[in-house]
Amino acid sequence: MLGLPKGSLEEATLKLFAKAGFKITKSSRSYRPGFDDPELDGRFIRAQEMSRYVEHGFFDCGLTGHDWVVENGSDVVEVCDLIYSRASNVKSKWVLVVPEASSVQTVKDLEGKRIATEVVSLTRKYLESNGVTADVEFSWGATEVKVPDMVDAIVDLTETGNSLRANKLRIVDVLLETNTKLIANKQAWEDPAKRAKIETIALLLTAALTAEAKVGMKLNIHKDKVAEVLKELPALRNPTISPLTNGDFVALEVIVDEKVVREMIPTLKAHGAEGIIEYPLNKVVP
């Protein structure tokens, strides 16, 4: 039984599973998805409570943020990192935040003040470890709006930083870095058949995620130019080189980060490369 996150991770999760080779279908308002793999069954639940149901064994494994595993204090196996979220494929941070104009400079300045957050337990522990006593209240979300009128500071998640900028907020400290993870129930992890299936899912999801940032490239180039092109383009390292029927030319094939392609193509062209093609990838297994 697999736990899928309802909410901001939902769409990206279904896309990633599709790329990994698992088609998950869902009818609107139904939290029971359909799977094209007869060995799989699952449910959608909120990312915030996923780790509890994995810990207690309703789910053998599930996807959620590291932050909610920590906040809930759940005793689960963190099988692998899957660094994706709603908007980007980078890690996010839970940060202590105040209005730009606030006099608060460090956590110590929060003594006796009020703080709103979705992660009450994480925030209490953080204050305690800094020897600060402050009033921490639970926020259901839209937390940015609460400072400075309702509370003195907030602990909120930041990904792109857009919400902080839009609300003229300043970061005082970072409490926790987080990203999406595949987590597993401890007993399920000890069961060889279940573990094998969870490891297969982890392998395929990781391969699909790795492939998102990469592309394949193929090109033909004069054999005398190969050495200088490889020197100039470190991203091209370890290409597959195959001879062509035209004896002076070879074919190069390589997997590279997509972001370097826009610099590679003009350089390759300047060295006389021909027939340059770029293609997307579904999975990359190192």
Ligand X SMILES: O=P(O)(O)OC[C@H]1O[C@H](OP(=O)(O)OP(=O)(O)O)[C@H](O)[C@@H]1O
Residues that bind ligand ATP (CB under 6 A): 7-9, 47-48, 64-65, 67-68, 85-87, 92, 141, 157, 159, 178
Q: How far apart are CA 169 and CA 235, in angstroms?
A: 39
Over the window 163 to 202, marking each residue x when it contacts ligand X by CB under 6 A and - when it does not, the resulting string is x---------------------------------------
Helices 10-20 & 192-212 angle (0-180, nearest 10): 100
| 155 vs 219, beta carbon nearer ligand X | 155
Peptide bond into 148 cis (omega under 30): yes
Does residue number 157 form part of the binding site for ligand X (CB under 6 A)? yes
Q: How far apart are CA 242 and CA 252, in angstroms?
A: 7
- Amino acid found at 20: A
Of these, 49, 81, 159, 258, which contacts ligand X (CB under 6 A)?
Answer: 159
Does residue number 141 form part of the binding site for ligand X (CB under 6 A)? yes
Pairing of strands 114-117, 135-138: parallel
| 141 vs 286, beta carbon nearer ligand ATP | 141
Whether the CB-CB separation of 236 and 268 falls below 8 Å is answered with no
Q: Which does 206 bind (CB under 5 to 8 A by kind): ligand ATP, ligand X, none?
A: none
Q: How far is the CB of 233 from ligand X (least distance, A)?
A: 33
Residue 159, SS3? Answer: coil
Q: How far is the CB of 129 from ligand X (least distance, A)?
A: 23
Does residue number 156 form part of the binding site for ligand X (CB under 6 A)? yes
Q: How far apart are CA 237 and CA 240, in angstroms?
A: 9
Q: Residues 67-102, buried b or exposed e (16+ Cβ, 10 A)?
A: bbbbbbebebbebbebebbeeeeeebbbbbbbbeeb
Q: How far is the CB of 238 from ligand ATP (least distance, A)?
A: 34
Q: Which does 142 bind (CB under 5 to 8 A by kind): ligand ATP, ligand X, none?
A: ligand X
Residues in contact with ligand X by CB under 6 A are 8, 87, 141-144, 156-163
